[in-house]
Amino acid sequence: MATTATLLDTPFKKEVFEGLSAFPKYLSSKYFYDKKGDKLFQDIMAMPEYYLTGCEFQILSSHTETIGELFRDRENGLDLIELGAGDGKKTKVLLKYMADHNFNFVYKPIDISENAVEMLSENLATEMPALTVDAEVGEYFEVLERLKGFNKRKKVIMVLGSNIGNLKHPKAIEFLTKLKDAMLPDDLLFMGFDQKKNPQTILDAYNDEAGITAAFNKNILTRINRELGGNFDVDKFEHWEAYNPETGTAKSFLVATEAMQASIEKLGLTVNFEQWETIHTEISQKYDDKIVQWLAEQSGLEIETSFTDEKGYYKNYAFRKV
């Protein structure tokens, strides 16, 4: 008979088992992303309520030359490493500038979604055939050690989309510290942070009327059903969003609308739900300059400069190692 250890032979299995055996229950938002999840997230980014993508696109489009020249190294060139590259829509603005202005560089996109990495690589091969692309599938914390190997010339590590917001502050400091440890004095970290703003604006961004965000959150249950032999009745879960303006934390939940039981064959796990019991799926942290300054100080980084959109909704910060 299979032991729990042999059943939990992948990170997905292990984390689903741990999260659904815990109280309160939780699942990681990184598992929203498969082929269907990637498409749903592209739909989310196109929604008028989801301001983050448009604001960051505006920043990169308005300050392309300034940001590009901040990245440039005229002597040895650079490695541009993007964690959580996704479809690369925003990054292409910078890539085009760098390619058109004789930058000597390699673009290394890294994403947890194999589908996203394949699509981005194919698109770039068509749109910018002269560009050197070295793509990789992987999680942030997995690749951090390997980043230390990029030490022959300047590297710019880019994290867009306010992906840092999926981490609580202690985990964010751990992540930023590991990035700092992989950096040399000339290296840059370029990172997007969604800013605190009208709480209703934030709630609307994560709770659209069309239900796309709800479908995106529920996709994790669909994946469990398909990949792990689960039998969740996805329609019996409601997506719920809450935002605390004091802490700047937006939280997403799946809420069981009735008492039920679900089994996951490949984990040998039966999960019981009380009516209105929750599965916490995601946090989306919001920031201001003071918080970002504090995170940088705790992590051994310093802010070199920052860029914001015209509404002041969003900021991209450039950091160096102290």
Q: Which residue has the higher pLDDT, 151 or 157?
A: 157
Please state, for a pLDDT cut of 90, what percent of the chain lies above it: 88
pLDDT at 320 over 70: yes
Determine the pLDDT at residue 183. 95
Report which residue type is found at 264.
I
Q: By residue range, what is the domain housing residue 231?
A: 4-47+201-285
pLDDT at 2 over 60: no
201-205 long-range contacts (CB < 8 A, ≥24 apart) are 201/51, 201/313, 202/243, 202/250, 202/286, 203/241, 203/243, 203/250, 204/49, 205/49, 205/50, 205/51, 205/52
Do 145 and 273 fall into the same domain?
Answer: no
Banded pLDDT at 142 (limits 50, 70, 90) = confident
Q: What is the mean pLDDT of residues 138-160?
A: 88
Domain with residue 70: its CATH number is 3.40.50.150
Is residue 115 one of the residues assigned to a domain?
A: yes
CA gap 193, 312 in Å, rounded: 11
Mean pLDDT to the nearest integer, 52-56: 96
Q: Percentage of the chain with pLDDT > 70?
A: 98
Gyration radius of the chain over CA positions: 20
Verify that 84 and 141 share a domain, yes or no.
yes
Residue among 189, 178, 163, 232 at smallest CA distance from 25: 232
Q: What is the mean pLDDT of residues 50-57?
A: 96
And the tokens for 200? 């209703």
Confidence of residue 148 (pLDDT cuts 50, 70, 90): confident
Task: Report whether 199 contacts 245 (CB < 8 A).
Answer: yes
Q: pLDDT value at position 108?
A: 95
CA dihedral angle for residue 39, residue 41, residue 42, residue 48, rounded to 10 degrees? 140
pLDDT level of residue 6 (50, 70, 90 thresholds): low
Residues 296 and 185 in one domain: yes
One domain, residues 99 and 187: yes
254 within a domain of the structure (yes/no)? yes
191 and 102 within one domain: yes
**pLDDT value for 191:** 98
Total domain count, the chain? 2
Judgement on whether residues 186 and 276 belong to the same structural domain of the protein: no
Residue 53: inside a domain, yes or no? no
Residue 275: which pLDDT band, with cuts at 50, 70 and 90?
very high
260-292 burial, b at 16+ Cβ within 10 Å, e below that, comes to bebebebbebebebeeebbbbbbbbbbbeeebb
Q: Do 70 and 126 belong together in one domain? A: yes
Q: What is the pLDDT of residue 147?
A: 86
pLDDT at position 12: 94
Q: Is position 55 within any domain?
A: no
* pTM listed for this prediction: 0.91
Examine the domain organization and report whether 142 and 157 are in the same domain: yes
CA 54 – CA 163 distance, rounded (Å): 15
Residue 139: CA count within 13 A, CB half-sphere? 10
Using CA atoms, how far apart are residues 216 and 223, in angstroms rounded to an integer?
11
- pLDDT above 80 (res 83): yes
Whether 91 and 19 share a structural domain: no
**pLDDT band at residue 113, thresholds of 50, 70 and 90?**
confident
Confidence grade of residue 146 (pLDDT, cut at 50, 70, 90): confident
Residue 120 pLDDT greater than 90, yes or no: yes
Same domain, 215 and 293: no
Spatial separation of the C-alpha atoms in residues 115 and 86, rounded to whole Å: 9
pLDDT at 249: 97
Same domain, 278 and 292: no
pLDDT value at 1 more than 50: no
Average pLDDT over residues 221-235: 98
Residue 176 lies in a domain: yes
End-to-end CA distance of the chain: 53
pLDDT in tens, 164-209: 999 999 999 999 999 999 999 999 999 999 999 999 999 999 999 9
Do 294 and 223 share a structural domain?
no
Domain-embedded: residue 54? no
57 lies in a domain?
Answer: no
What's residue 293's pLDDT? 98
Q: For residue 103, tell me if it sits in a domain.
A: yes
